[in-house]
Each structure stands twice: as C-alpha cells, then as structure tokens.
Amino acid sequence: MTDPRAEEQPLRVTRRFAFSPHEVYREIRETGPVRRVTMSAAPDAWLVTDYAEARALLADPRLAKDHGRALELYPDDVNSALSSDLSHNMLQSDPPDHTRLRRLVTKAFTGKAVARLAPQVERIVDGLLDDVAARGGADLIESFALPLPIEVISELLGVPLADRAKIRDWSMPFVVGHSEGVERAGREIKAYFAELIAVKRADPGEDLLSDLVHVMVDGDRLSEAELVAMAFLLVFAGHETTANLIGNGVLALLRHPEQAAALRADPSGLPAAIEEFLRYDSPIHIATTRFTTEPVLVGDVEIPANQFVMISLLGANHDGARFADPEVLDTTRAAAGHLAFGHGIHYCVGAPLARLEARIALGALLARFEVLELDAEPDGLEWRKSTFVRGLSTLPVRVR
C-alpha cells in the first residue's frame, strides 16, 4: 500500500534545511515518518525523520552503503565528481567487506583502549584552554572544538605535529560537498598518507597507523589503498563528530546557564549531559548514504528499489514518541538510546573516543572558567552550510 502523501510535491532541500532543521522537522512531523525530498545535483531521496523507523532502517540489510553501487544511481557528471578511492572504506561498504575492514580497527577503539588516552586528551585540552584564558576569550570552534579532536586523532595515528593543520584543511571540502575542492583535497590527502604509510612500514612507531600497516588477522591485512582510505576515514570521522559535539554542547550550556552551574557544581553529571548534548543537537545531521536494494515499506509508504534514503539522526532524536519534551534540554534525562552515533553494524566505531574527548573538554572548560559568556548576538550565530553535519561555524566567547 502506498500512502497518497508519497505523491506530494517533494520537499526541497534548501539552506533553511541546513541552518534551521528543527523548524523544518516541526513543520513536517505530522506528515508521517518519511517524505520525498529533492536536492540540486543529486537524485531525489526519501527523508526519514521518526525514531522507530530511523532506528530500524539503520540496521536493515535491504539498505546498502556500497559506494561503487551507490555511484551508479547518480547522474554521470555527479558520479565522476564523487568517485574516489578514499570512499572505498568501511563506512561506505557492506558485508563481507565491511566486516573484514572493521575487525582490523575495532580493537583500537574499545572502551578500555580509549580510556588509556585520557592523560593525552587532558594535556591537549589544558594547553588549548591556556591560550583561551590568556586572551580572555576566543572563538571556541577555531581555538578549541576543532583543534582538540584533530590533535587527538593525529596523535593516535602518528601524524607529525607540523602536518596537522593540513589534515584539517583537507577534510573540509568533504563536509561542505564542494566537488572541485573534494577532488583536489582527495589527491593531496591520498599522496600524503601514502607517503606516511611508507614511513610507518619502514620505521613503525607506537601509533595506530603503524599498527594498521602491520596488523594481520587470520592471514588478512589491509592493502595500500585500504590503508589510505582507512586513515582518511579515521581523521575525517574522528574530528567532525567530536568538534560539533563540543561546540553544540557549549552553546547549549550558554543558553541554559542553570544547567551549566549544576554541572560545574557536580561534574559527576557530565556523562549523562554528554548523552543529552548528543541527542539535543546531534553532531551528525543525516546518516551517511544508504540506498534500497529492494522495495522497503516505511510506515504506509513503500520506497522502491534503487532509491536513496536520508535517515535524519537529528530528527529522530527529537521524536516526541521516543523522548518526552524533545525540544527541552535536560542534562539529567536518561538520553541513552539516541541515534547520534547511528545503530547497527555501522554504529560509530569512534563513539567511545568522542565521549571521552567531550567529557574531558567540557569538564575542563567549566572547571577552569567561572565566567563563560557568549561574545556575540545569539541570533547572529551561523551553522555550517551542510546537510551532513550539524555544527557551528563560529562560537565567540568571553571567559574569566
């Protein structure tokens, strides 16, 4: 059965969808859990916004992620712009390839392995906050939220200190979807990691990239192309999610000073607060590309085969059927079960590291500064122009 609402004019994905998504979701929430959408330079897709349906689809094997097959659904001109060896990674693959790639990296991101990184994260956080304190304030995105995860993942991978600014610059075009920038950055980052991998092969260090170069599981090891793609994925995913989590979390506390005061007085509430920040303004807006391999029924709407499906993590985490008063920030609520890190076999492998970084970063920020104030007009803050991530472009603050 097909719901007649599926024949409605597709919802146009515009700047408003990127900058004010919560408003858009409030308007379309009553139309059902799925809605056709249209985008420039891409095929039409189906937007899923309700929690139950989003969670089920994230784990549904009828939705595939294989990048090569996905490219076949794009127009030829877009296909060529998106084609890149860097996309052949575990995030954009299906079993058995996904299973094989993931098992080679999972051990580095277990809770126990990540906990050992805490002293390094604390050292990096303290250094960044020293600079913020010396200036009496800063743009927290540029000076804190972005450099922290770049430093952590770069240290984890064994990227030299002098190269870390380049790593960040190379990843940006992939977030905003600028095809020319993606091609250029892709070439440069492939060349860089190929060279770094050669160094690690000849002279391994105590870092994750050296481990990946030499690891073997059941006689299997990563190829050169897979190593480059894996390094890129860990850098890209490792800093975007965490940077936006920290920035969005700080903004939430600036807008709710009573909850900031409560966390400052009792830091033991930080782990629960991190889960609420993940739910309240999820750092990833739309889950990475999926497409149907056969017709899939969502609610009363049948999505045909070979159609792209956009699963809104942000929308699902604001579904009142799952979270009471979803538009209210409550750092004491039981927000476990949110979909900010996805669900199913593609659940974010770096989730423990993102949680650790956010807990240490926000805890140190609150402990260091008795005064933490927004240094801009609240309505003047701008969000990144991206339907993939949900993060601020800047966050100017005063501190004391």
Whether residue 309 is predicted with pLDDT greater than 80 in this model: the reply is yes
Q: Is the peptide bond before 10 cis (omega within 30 degrees of 0)?
A: no
Interval 89-98 mean pLDDT: 90
The mean pLDDT value for 102-109 works out to 84
Q: Residue 1: what pLDDT?
A: 42
Confidence of residue 387 (pLDDT cuts 50, 70, 90): confident
pLDDT value for 113:
84
Q: Which residues contact 132 (CB under 8 A, 6 or more apart)?
A: 138, 140, 143, 144, 399
> Between 158 and 71, whose confidence is greater?
158
pLDDT recorded at residue 297: 96
Q: Residue 2, by phi and psi: left (phi above 0), alpha (psi -120 to 50) or beta? A: beta
What is the DSSP code string of 278-347?
Answer: HHHT-SBSBPSPEEESS-EEETTEEEPSS-EEEEBHHHHTT-TTTSSSTTS--TTS--TT--TT--GGGS
Assess whether pLDDT exceeds 50 at residue 3: no
- Residue 168 is predicted with a pLDDT of 79
- C-alpha span between 125 and 128 (Å, rounded): 5
Q: What is the pLDDT of residue 71?
A: 83
What is the per-residue DSSP string for 19-80?
Answer: H-HHHHHHHHGGG-SEEEEEETTEEEEEEE-SHHHHHHHHT-TTEE--HHHHHTTS-HHHHH
- What pLDDT score was predicted for residue 223? 85
Quote the pLDDT of residue 15: 83
Residues 355-375 have pLDDT tens digits of 999 999 999 999 999 999 999
Tens digit of each residue's pLDDT (9 = 90 or more) over 119-167: 999 999 999 999 999 999 999 999 999 999 989 998 889 999 889 888 8
Angle at 331 between CA 366 and CA 385, to 5 degrees: 80
Q: Write down the pLDDT at residue 328.
A: 97
Is the pLDDT confidence value at 9 over 80? Answer: no
**302 pLDDT exceeds 70?**
yes
Predicted TM-score (pTM) of the model is: 0.91
- Domains of the chain: residue spans and CATH: 4-399 (1.10.630.10)
Instruction: Look at residue 6 in the predicted model and tell me its pLDDT.
Output: 46
Residue 79 has what pLDDT?
47
Name the percent of the chain lying above pLDDT 70. 92
For residues 384 and 146, is the Cβ–Cβ distance under 8 A?
no
272, 274, 276, 281 alpha-carbon torsion, rounded to 10°: 180
pLDDT given at position 373: 95
The pLDDT score that the predictor gives to residue 84 is 64
* pLDDT per position as a tens digit, 24-51: 998 888 888 999 998 776 788 999 999 9
Q: State residue 258's pLDDT score.
A: 96
- Rounded to an integer, the average pLDDT of 173-185 is 69
Backbone angles phi, psi at 301, to 5 degrees: -110, 130
Is residue 214 scored above 70 in pLDDT?
A: yes
- Judged against a pLDDT cut of 50, whether residue 94 lies above it is answered with yes
| pLDDT exceeds cutoff 70 at 80 | no
Task: Return the pLDDT at 172.
Answer: 72
| pLDDT at residue 330 tops 50 | yes
How high does pLDDT run on average in the chain?
89
The predicted-structure confidence for 180-213, as pLDDT tens digits, reads as follows 677 788 889 889 999 999 999 999 988 889 988 8
220 strand-pairing partners: 217
What average pLDDT score do residues 303-324 get?
A: 96
Q: What is the C-alpha to C-alpha distance for residues 400 and 381, in angstroms, rounded to an integer?
A: 22
